[in-house]
Copies of this chain bind each other. A is one copy, B any other.
Amino acid sequence: MTGRHGDPERGADLELRAVRGIGEIRPGDDLPAIVADAVSELEPRDGDIVVVTSKVVSKAEGRIRPAAEREQAITEESVRLVASRAHPGGITRIVEHRSGLVLAAAGVDASNTDDGTILLLPLDSDASAHAIAERLRSRFGAAIGVIVSDTLGRAWRVGQTDVAIGAAGIRVLEPVSVDANGRPLLVTAPAIADEIAGAAELVAGKADAVPVVLVRGLGRHVAGLDEPGAARLVRASGDDMFRLGSDEAYRAGREAGRIDALAEAGAAHAG
């Protein structure tokens, strides 16, 4: 970095690099070692963050099932149904995953998998991120953060973005205290880890099979390995104004209203 002003050659404030050379990942592969080997050419240093797509984590963990078991796998991976909708290709189920994530089809994925197979989300994405971060820190002797990313849909907006479903060694939420005028910003806490995962998706692309991206320039968000993981970014369903789809909530209310009214009418009639 040669200067902060007036110099187009000064270093970027934030840089992302695709990590090349990661081949097809197979069940049982030592993913932390593979990531460390591949990232070494970029000379990882203090403050770097490495984003790994959940897909390769799942493959290394052998989270593979026959495609015919897709509906069963979605059910097994879910703790409750949030919303569902029929469409020409079947029924889309938005569920709460056992991790607390709310997402379509419990994250069960049939893209970029071997034919006839599907891929489930990692068993514990924060633990997977932690294992990779430990390996990178020990191998390179540097404070490196790790994010495990996945592609999620959103309420209210078209298209999907990558977010952090696992994290280690970074502060996933920015602790914001005051605005530029010194007033407290109570409501706004940027979900740093999600924004990093989304930025990495811009580099990884969807069909390029680049599952690892190095992010340089966010050292202020890198912290100890005891930092809470991406589970911190999951809003508890009891605290969520959108914990249930609008149609599902309406139907539940309608049934409750009928039962109450009929009970009242019965009581009035009997009385």
A:179-214 near B, CB below 8 Å:
179-181, 183, 185-192, 194-196, 198-199, 201-203, 206-209, 213
Q: Which of A68-76, A140-148, A248-256 contacts B (4 or more CB under 8 A)?
A: A248-256
> A149-169 CB contact bits vs B (8 Å, 1 = yes)?
001001111111111000000
Q: Is A178 among interface residues, defined by CB-CB distance under 8 A?
A: yes
* Min CB–CB distance A269 → chain B (angstroms): 7
Query: Which B-chain residue is minimally distant from A245 (CB atoms)?
Result: B241
Q: Is A226 among interface residues, defined by CB-CB distance under 8 A?
A: no
Q: Which of A9-17, A58-66, A125-133 contacts B (4 or more CB under 8 A)?
A: A9-17
Contacts of A138 in B (CB 8 A): none
Interface size on A, residues (CB 8 A): 103
Q: Are B195 and A207 in contact (CB under 8 A)?
A: no
Q: Is A4 among interface residues, defined by CB-CB distance under 8 A?
A: yes
Other-chain residue from B15, B178, B216, B243 in contact with A246 (beta carbon distance below 8 A): B243
Contacts of A5 in B (CB 8 A): 20-21, 41
Q: Is A22 among interface residues, defined by CB-CB distance under 8 A?
A: no
A:8-46 near B, CB below 8 Å:
8, 10, 12-18, 20-21, 41-43
Query: Which B-chain residue is minimally distant from A231 (CB atoms)?
Result: B158
Q: Is A104 among interface residues, defined by CB-CB distance under 8 A?
A: yes
Contacts of A79 in B (CB 8 A): none
Q: Are B160 and A180 in contact (CB under 8 A)?
A: no
* Min CB–CB distance A196 → chain B (angstroms): 7
> A98-128 CB contact bits vs B (8 Å, 1 = yes)?
0001101000001111010000000000000
Query: Which B-chain residue is minimally distant from A174 (CB atoms)?
Result: B206
Contacts of A163 in B (CB 8 A): 157
Q: A159-B172, A253-B257, A262-B265 are in contact. List 7 more A-B contacts (CB 8 A).
A: A6-B41, A160-B190, A161-B191, A176-B207, A240-B246, A254-B254, A254-B260
